[in-house]
Amino acid sequence: MIGDVTGVLLAQVGTPDAPTSRAVRRYLARFLSDRRVVDYPSWWWQPLLRGVILPLRSPKSARLYRRIWTTAGSPLLVESEQQRALLATALGPSHRVALGMAYAGPSFEAAIDHLLSAGATRIVVLPMFPQYSSATTASVYEAAFAAAIARGSRARRFVPAVQFIAPYPDHRGYIEALRARVTGAIAAASPDHIVLSFHGLPERFVSEGDPYDAQCALTVSALASAMRWSGSDYTVSFQSRFGREPWLAPATADVLRGLHSRGVKRPLIVAPGFTADCLETLDELGNEGRDEFAQGGGDPAAYCLCPCLNDHPLWIEAMAQLVSAATKP
């Protein structure tokens, strides 16, 4: 029944159902087939993806997922569900909050089904990516809107009003949550240098109009101001390079290998663009990053990774602020 309820869709990219080659292959096939993620011609890309990349990458990625998998499941799913529950409590009974994943379960369609069945007349989509990228934010916009107007091949009889929350790279609440999280990590680790690692993007995307690089810079500037850092206190880098074309630089792996030669002994690695811990933070930065620091001569025991925002109270408050501002009359 339709009622006076606002639905909130927390939109994430997704995670495999299990740390197995089959589950990872299924997830990667969907993710890497999105033309916003990989925009090479399908006639060339799909045979390469299906015949070479998935058979080689799926077993390797499954091993990496097993290193971070918990008894409760995928860290990204566990943390995202916790965020959903806490945000629902913060917003109160006038809102219903559902979690949806673009390339995995729970799907956007299932999430919107849930919100509609709870009486939602409008749905506010909150992408869990503070900085806009066509490979993440735009993909979520498209998939969420498609799920709102149709269920599979069937058009929905009632289509709710859909509103997308704009990117928030320097939103005050988001920056304050980052400041609190980083401050706690600094108190625990006493680092002598900070590495701010963002997910990478092909340089071509930026040259074609994607504002991701500029929005990462906004986040860095706001966080550095909140932390009262000077330019020598931190280094910005980009991780998760895929393919052969040039990506945003410097690469995080190269930065980590070079820290010891710069005199850095106790680095703290922060991933401001990730709002929940996942493979890219826990393993790529946590495990592989520690190895890369050691390869450059650093002491792996002195390497420290800052947790993502996850269920930090200030981040839940910031999400509530974003939703409230979007729905204010």
Instruction: Give me the average pLDDT of each 10-residue run along the chain (329 residues).
Output: 79 97 97 94 96 97 98 98 98 96 95 95 97 96 95 91 97 98 98 98 96 98 98 97 93 98 98 98 98 98 98 98 91
Cβ partners under 8 Å of residue 286, min gap 6: 68, 305
> What counts of helices (H) and strands (E) characterise the chain?
12, 10
Q: Give whole-number Cα distances, 121 to 11, 90, 104, 141, 272, in Å.
A: 18, 20, 25, 18, 33
Q: How confident is the model at residue 95, as a pLDDT?
A: 96
Q: Could you tell me where the beta strands, DSSP code E, fall in the chain?
A: 5-12, 95-101, 120-127, 150-151, 154-155, 161-164, 193-199, 234-239, 267-270, 304-305
Determine the Cα–Cα distance for residues 208 and 134; give it in Å rounded to an integer. Answer: 11
Nearest to 326 by CA among 124, 176, 174, 175: 124
Q: How confident is the model at residue 1, as a pLDDT?
A: 39
Asked whether the beta carbons of 63 and 274 are under 8 A apart, the reply is no
Q: How confident is the model at residue 257, as a pLDDT?
A: 98
CATH topology for 172-305 is: Rossmann fold (3.40.50)
Q: Which residues pair with 268 in a beta bridge?
A: 194, 304
Domain ranges of the chain: 21-68, 172-305
How many angstroms separate the most distant Cα atoms in the chain? Answer: 64
Q: How confident is the model at residue 3, as a pLDDT?
A: 53
Q: How confident is the model at residue 152, as a pLDDT?
A: 86
End-to-end CA distance of the chain, in Å? 23
Indicate whether this model's pTM tops 0.85: yes
Q: How confident is the model at residue 143, as a pLDDT?
A: 94
Q: Which residues pair with 177 in a beta bridge?
A: none
